[in-house]
Structure 1
């Protein structure tokens, strides 16, 4: 889906979100009464009122963030000092608050719990980090960034899809911070003009990291689906990489990673620690219909971080590709082992 120009996003989409938040909130009491009464008869899990409340809270969340961002823009001299260190810190604090409120809402309305496992010494230094994660839907991506802020006290720099700019608050705040919005890779694997500068943009993002910064990247290039998984395997076979394609075909829960952007980040940040992230819990929620089917989610999201010393990362290109695939195989095995545990917890809580 093509992202509209900046002026449309600022002049049309942002005011529409604020207006929608006001209208939905004003009508919420009447809608809640009607949906609760209907749900008591039709579906006792109260999915409709829960979804209505979540939609309203998300709109309010977006609208409040836009108002705060507008205030920061005015305070910065109508944007003149918006990229100064002080205003960058203010924007990071705002993002941390936004995510904290979002997950507080998810905890109470959707009954979502988050469990994070990290290696010893994870919090002990101020070195920058490159964090590579599997991609399993926007919900898991929000959880990861929330973890980077709240649990690890890091300032994330994110490589993310340009389609997220359809959300006005995400669009405004992340474009004011050091992040990179990129177009999704083409299905054929053929590089487009918009792809040509991708590695350079990631390299610039990583090379500017300071203490307690963390670059977050999703090497799969998109959310996991069976269709995308099959396309990734076909792309490797078309390139004559049959051994890599065979390994990718054995992956059950992840797609073969695209190494270019990840290795560009590593090369540009030689002092950064490297971490991988495996997670499971929201894998089945990717669309609005999935949200409806799963409500209330009663889910526990489990995340596992592990580090790789820089001296264990090969310098040779082929060896690097093999190493990255081994790490992705490890993520796949971890997800396969822990998904049944998440389902057991869900059934106990339901």
Structure 2
């Protein structure tokens, strides 16, 4: 159960800073620990040491972000002007700084590489891209996918992401503080789908040309059990055609259309971008990362854009269209895995 916000602010945030100082002061001990534990893990043997180094860097960056967040809170009149545009931009800049440095650390420590296949754009399309909001519909796979997607939206494409996230992510103090000051939404684990759809609609309704609403239509990471339950749910709802299409997906859960449709309805002027990615699909839990992190972390991504005027507007057509795109993503993943095998 998530503690009240006042508890998270007065206990969790300072605790991270204290922990960071303690870890830095005892860093030689942690490095020795990482090296010794790494000897007991499958190759590559340096995995334990690399994870320890990354954890220390993460803690240092998180502490710096929390201190900067406190300074921004004071500068905003002790929170009184946080909703003003200038203070919102400062928080986006802070998140961009944090993610850029975390990404840089991942590149250096884990030899992370991200290859993105982007569509070539004409001059007219480039101009349009700069004057329209976007709705991003992405595959859900592993804990790092949302981080990398948000990083690229902020740093590479100069967008301001809006995301609907699980409330449990607020256990991370920097996420809790910074994201709650911006147009995002945290939803409890057992919230009804209608509540999630309402939050998506709210976030999409006032987007401008710099905004990007990020949605993961699958609702969670792919597992065989979740796939079975999703297909069964479609059949129980009297949707045999969608269930049959879901059975033909090898790597994805079927998309849940209500959130995407709500976003497109609330912001009909937005272009829609679909994002496919693969490479670290099997690293879902911390245990997976600890046991199976490769020597080189490679991620391949592809995205394609639908102009707002080309997006279907009738519900049944939208559902069929979403399944078409999910089928294309699934085939692309299969091709990438075959290429890498």
Point out where structure 2 has 5 or more consecutive residues left out of the alignment: none
* 1:152 correspondence with 2:150: no
The range that moved more, 121-130 or 260-269, is: 121-130
Note if contact 1:24-1:56 (Cα within 8 Å) is conserved in structure 2.
yes
Residue 61 of structure 1: CA displacement? 1.8
The 8 Å contact of residues 111 and 296 in structure 1, kept in 2 or not, is answered as no
Aligned counterparts of 1:297 and 1:284: Cα–Cα separation in 2: 15
Given that 1:45 and 1:296 are in contact with CA atoms closer than 8 Å, whether structure 2 keeps it comes out as no
Distance in 1 between residues matched to 2:249 and 2:37, nearest whole Å:
43
- Asked if structure 2 preserves the Cα contact closer than 8 Å seen for 1:50 and 1:296, the reply is no
Q: How does 1:52-131 map to 2 (within 5 A)?
A: 52-121=52-121, 123-124=126-127, 125-126=129-130, 127-131=132-136
Name the SS of the counterpart of 2:180 in structure 1.
Answer: helix
Counterpart position of 1:242: 240
Distance 1:45 1:208, change over 3 A: same
Per the TM alignment, residue 196 of structure 1 is displaced from its structure 2 partner at its CA by 3.2
Name 1:270's counterpart in structure 2.
268
Quote how far apart the aligned CAs of 1:173 are. Answer: 0.6
Residue 186 of structure 2 corresponds to 181
Normalising by structure 1, report the TM-score: 0.90
Distance in 1 separating the partners of 2:204 and 2:63: 31
Structure 2 counterpart of 1:16: 15
Residue of structure 1 equivalent to 2:225: 227
Q: TM-score scaled by structure 2? A: 0.92
| Aligned pair partner of 1:332 in 326, 330, 333 | 330
Counterpart Cα distance in 2 of 1:40 and 1:201: 47
Distance 1:338 1:44, change over 3 A: closer
The equivalent residue for 2:139 is 134
Q: Is the 8 A contact 1:112 1:297 kept in 2?
A: no
Q: Could you tell me how far apart the structure 2 residues matched to 1:108 and 1:253 are?
A: 29
In 2, Cα distance between equivalents of 1:140 and 1:289 = 17
Q: Which residue of 2 aligns with 1:319?
A: 317
Other structure's SS at 1:137 match: coil
Shift of 1:52: 0.9
Alpha-carbon distance, 1:147 to partner: 1.1
Query: Helix, strand or coil for the counterpart of 1:196?
Result: helix
Compared CA separation, residues 298 and 173, structure 1 to 2 (3 A): same
How far residue 294 of structure 1 moved from its aligned partner, in angstroms, is 2.4
Per-residue CA distance 1:22-81 (angstroms, 9 max, x = gap): 111111123314543675697662121111111111111211111110111011111011
User: Counterpart of 1:21 in 2: which secondary structure?
Assistant: helix
Superposition RMSD in Å: 1.9
Distance in 1, Cα, partners of 2:93 & 2:37: 41
Q: Report if the CA contact (8 A) 1:132-1:277 is conserved.
A: yes
Aligned equivalents of 2:222 and 2:296: distance in 1?
Answer: 22
Once the two structures are TM-superposed, the CA of residue 297 in structure 1 deviates from its matched residue by: 4.3
Q: Which residue of 2 aligns with 1:307?
A: 305
C-alpha distance after superposition, 1:297-330 (max 9, x if no partner): 4121111110123333323222211111111111
> Do the aligned partners of 1:140 and 1:282 also contact (CA within 8 Å) in 2?
no
Which residue pairs with 1:5 in the alignment?
A: 4
